[in-house]
């Protein structure tokens, strides 16, 4: 066969192969997860929400687990956070149920929490979804006489809203509503007779908030094995509310643990059994460990942590137990952070503060958690600033506390810049002053 014919034959083979390839490929084509993901991100930038949802779902089908610095091809790595973007697209379309589902998945994977800019945005959207999806309180329609002033209507609506929030346990938000009603009453000089019960409600909400704060603080100390401080806080609580069952039960546990810890320090135990707790029989270390592992697997983290702590008292140098405790503390702290941030955006500052403080204690200022610590300190500062202004701006202790948290943020990251879109100008100002300091 001549050279020309050979080349001609080869060209025919190549053209045939390319044709088959093009036909086959056009029918069965499927792109890579990173192409779908980046196209989805592009659609979000162009506000093409529906198109972005379709592509992000395809990306998730191919690669369901999000990851920071996920490898695409060659030496290219991208931050893969599809559930955040999926939730963002749903949220923008007003589909809060789907958005919440996506955000909850993102929170569960704990990837978005490592990117503070996305995390704050997502937390705000998630909080908004929670508010919009929570069952609306049934309130009696306000009965107004034809001659009732608009002021009176406003006062009534604040009071009703405050009562509903208090009934739901959101005492800080209830307190704000009551304060608004009180402010209007005092300005108008009308209905002064309703001031006494209102003051009672304000005092009641304040007391409950104070008790919750003390109880949370005592729990935090207890979990951190600071038994003496925990006991002191319980003492304060019982002075406000003697016989409070939660405080009484916690005090009993604190004293038992303190006694056990003292015993373990002074007389090293060579036996493998624990001294009996009140009403409990003796158990072996291995059984305790098994129970702890089982509780851990079931997701009962606090209960598992109690048991691991008991084991670590008997076997102080057991590295595997230490690692498990570290892991649980970390998981608890992440959940606490997520709850705390979400509650902040819902306006429930008391719970937010308790959760964030709990997370702060669990992470124990370890440098490796600096990004998490930054988020905690940032939102604790915001909570205290809000409380300072809500209580009339007279309690300088609250502002000083806030400034302390702000300083800690800048110590962890001197380049920190607060997301101004998500915080009030007053909060932004405190952070700016902190940055200048």
Partner 1 sequence: MKKMVSIFVLVFALLVFSSTMNAQATSETNFSGVVGSGARAFGMGGAFIAIADDATAASWNPGGLGQLERPEFSFVLRNQVYNYIFPAKSTHSEFTGPQDFSGTSASFDFASFTYPFRIGSFKLVPQISYQRGVSFDVDNVASDVRFRSEFYEPSLRTDIRFEGLFMYESVFSGGFDTITLSLGSKLFKGVNVGFSVNFWMNGYEGKEYTSMMGEVSIVGYNISENIHFEYTHTKSFDIAGINFNAGLLVELFEGVKIGAVYRSGFDADISYKNTVIGQSIGANFNPVTIEQRQYSGSTTLEWPMTWGVGLSVLPEDKLTFSVDYTRTYWSNAIIRNYNNAETDERQLDVYFPTLTPTNAPAYARQLDTEQLRFGLEYIYMADKIIIPFRLGLFTDSQFYRDAAGEEIMFIGITGGVGVKWGPISVDVALIYETGKYMESNVAYSSSTFDEFKIYVSTIFSL
Closest CB to partner 1 among residues 2, 228: 2
DSSP character at residue 284: B
> Given the complex with partner 1, which of 37 and 405 has the nearer CB atom?
37
Tell me if 14 contacts partner 1 by CB under 8 A.
yes
Alpha-helix residue ranges (DSSP H) falling in 364-423:
370-390, 396-412
Binding residue for partner 1, selected from 8, 9, 18, 426, defined by CB under 8 A: 18
Closest CA to 119 of 378, 365, 329, 353: 378
**Looking only at Cα atoms, what is the longest distance across the chain?**
114
Min CB(45)–partner 1 separation in Å: 18
Which residue in 8, 12, 16, 25 binds partner 1 (CB under 8 A)? 25
CA–CA dist 186, 109 (Å, integer) = 50
Q: Assess 6 for contact with partner 1 (CB under 8 A).
A: yes
Report in angstroms how near the CB of residue 248 gets to partner 1 at its nearest. Answer: 51
Choosing from 29, 228, 279, 367, the residue that interacts with partner 1 (CB under 8 A) is 29
Distance (Å, whole) CA 323 – CA 319 = 6
3-state secondary structure of 257: helix
> Does the footprint of partner 1 cover residue 189 (CB under 8 A)?
no
Q: Should residue 259 be labelled a site residue for partner 1 when binding is judged by CB under 8 A?
A: no
Query: Minimum CB separation from partner 1 for residue 30, in Å?
Result: 4
CB of 328 to partner 1, least distance (A): 25
Task: Tell me how far apart the terminal alpha carbons of the chain are, to the nearest angstrom.
Answer: 87
Cβ-based nearer residue to partner 1, 21 or 302: 21
CA distance 174 to 200: 13
Binding mask 49-88 for partner 1 (x = CB under 8 A): -------------xx---x-xxxxxxxxx-----------
Give 71 or 426: the residue with its C-beta nearer to partner 1: 71
CA atoms within 13 Å, Cβ hemisphere of 12? 6
Whole-number minimum distance, CB 66 to partner 1, in Å? 13
Identify the residue among 10, 12, 47, 265 touching partner 1 (CB under 8 A): 10
| Residue 33 Cβ vs partner 1, minimum distance, rounded to whole Å | 10
Cβ nearer to partner 1, comparing 117 with 134: 117
Under the binding rule (CB under 8 A), the answer on residue 133 touching partner 1 is: no
Does residue 228 touch partner 1 according to CB under 8 A?
Answer: no
Cα–Cα dist 34/94, whole Å:
26
Q: Under the criterion CB under 8 A, does residue 17 sit at the interface with partner 1?
A: yes
Looking up tokens 């606090």, which residue turns up?
A: 302
Q: Is residue 106 within 8 Å of residue 84, measured between CB atoms?
A: yes
Calculate the CA 434 to chain-centre distance. Answer: 24
Supply the minimum distance, in Å, between the C-beta of residue 223 and partner 1.
Answer: 34
To partner 1, the closest distance from the beta carbon of 419 in angstroms equals 21
24 versus 302: smaller Cβ distance to partner 1:
24
24 in contact with partner 1 (CB under 8 A): yes
**311 within 8 A of 321, measured Cβ to Cβ:** yes
Rank residues 46 and 365 by Cβ distance to partner 1 and give the closer one.
46
Beta bridge partners of 80: 67
**Close Cβ partners of 405 (under 8 Å, ≥ 6 residues apart):** 377, 378, 380, 381, 384
Output the smallest distance, CB 37 to partner 1, in A: 11
Residue from 348, 352, 404 nearest 170 by CA: 348
What is the C-alpha separation between 25 and 382, in angstroms, rounded?
Answer: 55
Residue 159 CA, distance from chain mean position: 29
- Nearest approach in angstroms of CB 78 to partner 1 is 10
365, 373 in Cβ contact below 8 A? yes
Which residues are near partner 1 by CB under 8 A? Answer: 3, 6-7, 10, 14, 17-18, 21, 24-26, 28-32, 34-35, 62-63, 67, 69-77
């Amino acid at each position: 066969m001549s050279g020309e014919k050979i080349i001609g034959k080869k060209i025919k083979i190549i053209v045939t192969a390319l044709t088959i390839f093009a036909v086959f490929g056009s029918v069965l084509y499927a792109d890579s997860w990173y192409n779908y993901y980046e196209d989805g991100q592009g659609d979000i930038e162009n506000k093409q929400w529906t198109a972005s949802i379709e592509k992000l779902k395809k990306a998730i089908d191919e690669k369901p687990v999000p990851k920071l610095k996920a490898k695409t091809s060659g030496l290219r790595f991208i931050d893969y956070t599809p559930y955040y973007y999926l939730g963002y697209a749903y949220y923008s379309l007003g589909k809060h149920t789907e958005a919440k589902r996506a955000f909850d998945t993102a929170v569960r994977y704990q990837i978005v929490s490592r990117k503070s800019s996305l995390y704050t945005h997502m937390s705000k959207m998630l909080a908004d979804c929670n508010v919009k999806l929570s069952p609306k309180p049934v309130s009696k329609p306000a009965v107004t006489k034809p001659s009732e002033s608009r002021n009176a209507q406003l006062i009534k609506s604040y009071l009703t809203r405050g009562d509903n929030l208090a009934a739901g346990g959101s005492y800080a938000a209830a307190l704000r509503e009551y304060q608004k009603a009180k402010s209007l009453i005092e300005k108008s000089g009308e209905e002064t007779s309703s001031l006494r019960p209102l003051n009672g409600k304000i005092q009641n909400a304040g007391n409950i908030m104070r008790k919750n704060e003390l109880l949370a603080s005592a729990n935090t100390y207890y979990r951190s094995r600071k038994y003496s401080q925990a006991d002191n806080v319980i003492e304060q609580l019982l002075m406000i509310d003697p016989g409070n069952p939660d405080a009484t039960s916690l005090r009993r546990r604190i004293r038992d643990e303190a006694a056990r810890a003292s015993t373990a320090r002074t007389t090293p135990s060579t036996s493998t059994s624990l001294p009996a707790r009140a009403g409990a029989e003796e158990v072996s270390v291995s059984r305790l460990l098994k129970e702890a592992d089982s509780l851990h697997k079931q997701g009962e983290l606090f209960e598992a942590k109690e048991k691991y702590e008991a084991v670590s008292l008997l076997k102080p140098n057991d590295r595997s137990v230490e690692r498990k405790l570290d892991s649980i503390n970390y998981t608890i702290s992440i959940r606490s952070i997520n709850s705390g941030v979400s509650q902040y955006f819902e306006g429930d500052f008391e719970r937010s503060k308790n959760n964030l403080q709990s997370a702060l204690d669990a992470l124990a200022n370890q440098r490796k958690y600096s990004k998490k610590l930054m988020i905690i300190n940032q939102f604790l500062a915001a909570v205290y600033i809000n409380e300072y202004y809500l209580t009339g701006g007279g309690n300088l202790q609250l502002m000083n506390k806030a400034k302390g948290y702000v300083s800690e943020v800048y110590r962890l990251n001197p380049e920190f810049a607060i997301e101004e879109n998500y915080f009030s100008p007053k909060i932004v100002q405190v952070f700016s002053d902190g940055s200048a300091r």
